[in-house]
Amino acid sequence: MRVLVLCDDIWHPARTVRAGLEPLAAAGFSFEWIEHAGAWSASNMAAYPLVILTKSNNISSADETPWATAAVASAFLDYVRSGNGLVVIHSGSAGYQDFPGLRGLMGGAFVSHPPQCPVSVLPKPEHLLSAGSEPFTLVDEHYVVSLDDPGADIFLTTISAHGQQPGGWTRSEGAGRVCVLTPGHNLEVWLHPAYQALVRNALCWCGKSAAEAACHSS
């Protein structure tokens, strides 16, 4: 399955995401990349059944200018409502709190994080999106989020010395699906087998029938 990945911002270089997703190519996912927001358009996004947004609201790692607009938010809403999938990972939830369309689509938004510290990632036992994963603890940015959607299905919790937060949730929007995962600042987190399982499950769930072959091939 072809997956469009939007990544690269001031604080989160594309190389981390590229290396973090590379092992999942063996599961049948073909990742195609947009690092400079100027290369994005609603029409090119529409060619993919699934998008990963792991880019905060910066044009690129070299340009802190915001790229999101009301038109961008509207395009993402239309994209998901028409039956496509959106997986938001880590920084993809940051910088969009003042864009109601995108924030509403995600079901919430990043608020802040303390200095990096040990963060325990706790998948909900027996949950579909927790399959193949298990609790683990690594140094990460512990995202504090505002979860706006009371109907969001929380399947992941994160805990550190700074408290407990929802770390992963799903929601539906029209005919499409959205999954948000907040861990993932450091490559060590991305490459942990338990986190790889969470990302793979998110891709499968959000991709629905388009991901069926990939989700049952490994």
pLDDT digit string (tens) for 72-96?
999 999 999 999 999 999 999 999 9
107, 161, 210 from 56: Cα distances, Å: 16, 25, 27
Mean pLDDT, residues 61-65: 95
**Pairing state of beta strands 153-160 and 117-123?**
antiparallel
Mean pLDDT of 36-42: 97
173-197 mean pLDDT? 98
Where are the alpha helices (H) located in the chain, listed in sequence order? 14-21, 42-45, 70-81, 100-106, 187-191, 193-207, 212-215
Q: Can you tell me the distance from the alpha carbon of 186 to that of 92, in angstroms, rounded to the nearest whole number?
A: 14
Which pLDDT score, from 0 to 100, does residue 208 have? Answer: 86
Q: Using pLDDT thresholds of 50, 70 and 90, give the confidence band for residue 218.
A: very low
pLDDT 10s digits, 123-156: 999 999 999 999 999 999 999 999 999 999 999 9
The domains located in the chain, with CATH, are: 2-215 (3.40.50.880)
- pLDDT tens, position by position, 191-214: 999 999 999 999 999 998 544 444
Rounded to the nearest 10°, the torsion over CA 212, 170, 79, 13 is -90
Average pLDDT in the 104-120 region?
97
Amino acid of residue 208: K
pLDDT at residue number 127: 97
3-state secondary structure (DSSP) of residue 116: coil
Residue 15 has pLDDT above 70, yes or no: yes
Interatomic CA distance for residues 46 and 88, integer angstroms: 17
The pLDDT value recorded for residue 215 is 61
Of 84, 81, 87, the closest CA to residue 46 belongs to 84
* Mean pLDDT score of the chain: 95
Res. 217 pLDDT band, cuts 50 70 90? very low
**Span 173-196, average pLDDT:** 98
Name the pTM for this structure.
0.96
d(CA 182, CA 199): 11
Residue 66 burial class via C-beta count within 10 angstroms: exposed 0-12, middle 13-18, buried 19 and up: middle
Helix (H, G, I), strand (E, B) or coil at 186: coil
pLDDT at 101 over 80: yes
Q: What percent of the chain has pLDDT over 70?
A: 95
Residue from 121, 118, 92, 90 nearest 192 by CA: 121
> By the 8 A CB rule, do 7 and 56 touch?
no
CA distances from 124 to 6, 78, 158 (A): 28, 30, 11
Tokens of 37: 């927001």
For residue 70, pLDDT beyond 80 = yes
